[in-house]
């Protein structure tokens, strides 16, 4: 199974502060995107990688008449970034510092950040510690309160850890696990999801992340209280904010989305119809909503 998901960007390797090599995709678009002072910086979910944003990055970097430079990051231990020998470094604070390191290396003073799931939690950390780098924020199916039923879904999915023997079986596994929540997806969308999640090793699909990352989630004790991030969320107060919620999401409740909009007046809320956690951002009318939000920023 192949797709043109390896073109349209410059691949970069940037060392983290501890020397670990981070992989970055830099979608410069045409020269107009370079001239636009505010790039878009995309952060993926827990076990995901920069390929999740490929189609969206192409759309934004080739947008006419306002192309954007788009940066997508493989967080440490995911995709083509190095696996960390110290597994305790797979935490939000270290990964937030990695984002700042990449910004410094690329001379990015501010960016419009898109954070999917864990990527959005990292943005909560930055809102509390370095809000100056956040020109605007798009939180994709994530907020200050995580629903236990959604966390249990993620934990149980990772615990099943069924290993596909072929790309068609990879698609089958994804549909079995997520089909009821992602009713809007067509056949090619499922194949695209498989290409984003898995990488080819000896011709077979293999999950593209350090198993230690999944082990942290697999060991999660859902009987214990889950701390909220409302204090960190206050850091978004003076920053333009958009929240995308999957219509069928179990991780981000509608009540939490409503409270986010109440606490942050002016928040743009977009529902991704027929999608669960976390919405695929290049489908349906979501790209148009994102373009409208970032227009003029």
What is the per-residue pLDDT across 33-43, written as a single tens digit (0 to 9) for each? 666 779 999 99
The confidence score (pLDDT) of residue 219 equals 84
Q: What is the mean pLDDT of the segment spanning 233-237?
A: 97
Mean pLDDT (the chain) is 94
Is the pTM higher than 0.75? yes
- What is the rounded distance in angstroms from the CA atom of residue 271 to the CA atom of residue 192? 21
For the structural domain made of 10-147+227-294, what CATH number should be given? 3.40.50.1820
Q: Read off the pLDDT band of 12 (50, 70, 90).
A: very high
| Annotated domain spans of the chain | 10-147+227-294
Backbone angles phi, psi at 42, to 5 degrees: -110, 130
β-sheet bridge partners, residue 42: 72, 114
Q: What is the mean pLDDT of the segment spanning 242-259?
A: 98
The confidence score (pLDDT) of residue 30 equals 65
The confidence score (pLDDT) of residue 250 equals 97
Residues whose CB is less than 8 angstroms from the CB of residue 188 and which lie 6 or more positions away in sequence, other chains included: none
Name the percent of the chain in helix, strand, coil, to the closest 5: 40, 20, 40
Can you tell me whether residue 146 is helix, strand or coil?
Answer: coil
The confidence score (pLDDT) of residue 161 equals 75
Tell me what percent of the residues of the chain surpass a pLDDT of 90.
87
């Amino acid at each position: 199974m192949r797709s043109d998901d390896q073109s349209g960007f410059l691949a970069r390797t940037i060392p983290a502060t501890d020397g670990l090599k981070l992989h970055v995709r830099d979608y410069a678009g045409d020269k107009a995107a370079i001239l636009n002072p505010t790039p878009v910086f995309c952060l993926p979910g827990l076990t995901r990688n920069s390929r999740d944003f490929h189609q969206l990055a192409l759309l934004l970097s080739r947008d006419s008449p306002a192309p954007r430079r788009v940066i997508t990051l493989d967080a440490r231990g995911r995709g083509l970034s190095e696996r960390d020998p110290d597994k305790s470094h797979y935490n939000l604070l270290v990964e937030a510092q990695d984002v700042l390191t990449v910004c410094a290396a690329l001379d990015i003073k501010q960016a419009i950040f898109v954070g999917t799931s864990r990527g959005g939690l990292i943005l909560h950390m930055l809102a509390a510690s370095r809000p100056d780098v956040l020109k605007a924020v798009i939180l994709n199916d994530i907020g200050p309160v995580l629903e236990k039923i959604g966390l249990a879904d993620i934990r149980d999915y990772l615990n099943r850890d069924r290993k596909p023997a072929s790309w068609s079986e990879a698609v089958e596994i994804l549909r079995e696990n997520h089909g009821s929540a992602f009713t809007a997806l067509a056949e090619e969308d499922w194949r695209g999801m498989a290409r984003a999640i898995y990488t080819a090793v000896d011709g077979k699909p293999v999950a593209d992340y350090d198993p230690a990352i999944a082990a942290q989630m697999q060991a999660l004790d859902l009987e214990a209280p889950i701390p909220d991030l409302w204090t960190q969320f206050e850091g978004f107060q003076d920053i333009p904010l958009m929240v995308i919620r999957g219509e069928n999401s179990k991780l981000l409740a509608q009540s939490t989305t409503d409270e986010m909009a109440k606490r942050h007046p002016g928040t743009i809320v977009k529902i991704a119809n027929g999608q669960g956690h976390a919405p695929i951002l290049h489908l349906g009318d979501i790209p148009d909503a994102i373009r409208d939000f970032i227009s003029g920023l």
